[in-house]
Amino acid sequence: MTLWGGRFSTKLNDQAWDLNSSLPVDQRMAIQDVEGSLAWADAIHKAGILSDDEHEQIALGLDTVKAEFSSGEFTFAPADEDIHTAVERRLSELVGAAAGKLHTGRSRNDQVATDFRLWMLGAIPQLDAALKDLQSALVEQAEAAEETVMPGYTHLQRAQPILLAHWWLSHYWPLERDRARLNDLIPRVAVLPLGCGALAGTPLNVDRAALAESLHFSEPAPNSLDAVSDRDFAAEFLFCTTLIGVHLSKLAEQIVLYTSAEFGFFELSDAYSTGSSLMPQKKNPDVFELTRGKAGTLLGLLTGLLATLKGLPSTYDKDLQEDKAAVFVAFDALTIMLPVLAGALRTITAKPERMRAAIDSTMMATDLADYLVNKGIPFRETHAIAGKAVCAALESQLGLEQMPLEAYQALSPAFEADVYQVFDPLSSIQKRNAIGGTSLQSVKNQIKQIKENQ
Ligand code: ARG
Tell me how crowded residue 40 is: count the other CB atoms within 10 A of its CB.
29
Q: 87-101 burial, b if ≥16 CB within 10 A, otherwise e?
A: bbbbbbebbeebbeb
For residues 207 and 428, give the distance between their C-alpha atoms in angstroms, rounded to a whole number: 66
80 touches ligand 1 (CB under 6 Å) = no
For residues 303 and 301, give the distance between their C-alpha atoms in angstroms, rounded to a whole number: 6
Cβ–Cβ under 8 Å, residues 63 and 94: no
For residues 218 and 202, give the distance between their C-alpha atoms in angstroms, rounded to a whole number: 20
Preceding amide of 291 cis, omega within 30: no
35 Cα: distance to centroid of ligand 1 (angstroms): 18
The residues near 186 (Cβ < 8 Å, ≥ 6 apart) are 121, 124
pLDDT for the residue numbered 176 = 98
Cβ–Cβ under 8 Å, residues 390 and 362: yes
pLDDT for the residue numbered 247 = 98
The residues near 262 (Cβ < 8 Å, ≥ 6 apart) are none
For residues 219 and 201, give the distance between their C-alpha atoms in angstroms, rounded to a whole number: 15
Half-sphere exposure of 78 (CA within 13 A, CB side): 1
pLDDT for the residue numbered 278 = 83
Indicate the residue type of 8.
F
Could you tell me the maximum CA-CA distance found in the chain, to the nearest angstrom? Answer: 101
322 Cα: distance to centroid of ligand 1 (angstroms): 10
29 touches ligand 1 (CB under 6 Å) = no
112 Cα: distance to centroid of ligand 1 (angstroms): 7
For residues 328 and 238, give the distance between their C-alpha atoms in angstroms, rounded to a whole number: 10
pTM of the predicted model, to two decimals? Answer: 0.95
Catalytic residue numbers read: 155, 276
Cβ–Cβ under 8 Å, residues 327 and 237: yes
79 three-state secondary structure: coil
Q: 233-267 burial, b if ≥16 CB within 10 A, otherwise e?
A: bbbbbbbbbbbbbbbbbebbebbbbbbeeebebbb
The residues near 230 (Cβ < 8 Å, ≥ 6 apart) are 113, 193, 221
The residues near 259 (Cβ < 8 Å, ≥ 6 apart) are 265, 266, 267, 268, 285, 288
For residues 409 and 414, give the distance between their C-alpha atoms in angstroms, rounded to a whole number: 7
How far lies 61's CA from each of 42, 65, 99, in Å?
A: 13, 6, 9
pLDDT for the residue numbered 209 = 98
Out of 21, 108, 229, give the residue to mutate to test ligand 1, the one with the largest number of ligand atoms within 8 Å of its CB: 108
Out of 229, 318, 320, 324, give the residue to mutate to test ligand 1, the one with the largest number of ligand atoms within 8 Å of its CB: 318
380, with CB counted inside 10 A (0-12, 13-18, 19+), is: exposed
Task: Work out which ligand 1 atom sits closest to the CA atom of 198.
Answer: 11
For residues 60 and 88, give the distance between their C-alpha atoms in angstroms, rounded to a whole number: 13
33 touches ligand 1 (CB under 6 Å) = no
pLDDT for the residue numbered 5 = 78
What is the pLDDT tens value at each position of the chain, 454 positions in all?
787 778 888 889 999 999 999 999 999 999 999 999 999 999 999 999 999 999 999 999 999 999 999 999 999 999 999 999 999 999 999 999 999 999 999 999 999 999 999 999 999 999 999 999 999 999 999 999 999 999 999 999 999 999 999 999 999 999 999 999 999 999 999 999 999 999 999 999 999 999 999 999 999 999 999 999 999 999 999 999 999 999 999 999 999 999 999 999 999 999 999 988 888 888 899 999 999 999 999 999 999 999 999 999 999 999 999 999 999 999 999 999 999 999 999 999 999 999 999 999 999 999 999 999 999 999 999 999 999 999 999 999 999 999 999 999 999 999 999 999 999 999 999 999 999 999 999 999 999 999 998 8
Tell me how crowded residue 376 is: count the other CB atoms within 10 A of its CB.
8
| Residue whose CA is at the smallest distance from ligand 1 atom 3 | 321
CA nearest neighbour of 77 among 62, 60, 93, 61: 93
| pLDDT tens digit sequence for 275-290 | 888 888 888 999 999 9
| pLDDT tens digit sequence for 231-250 | 999 999 999 999 999 999 99
CA nearest neighbour of 238 among 318, 115, 131, 120: 120
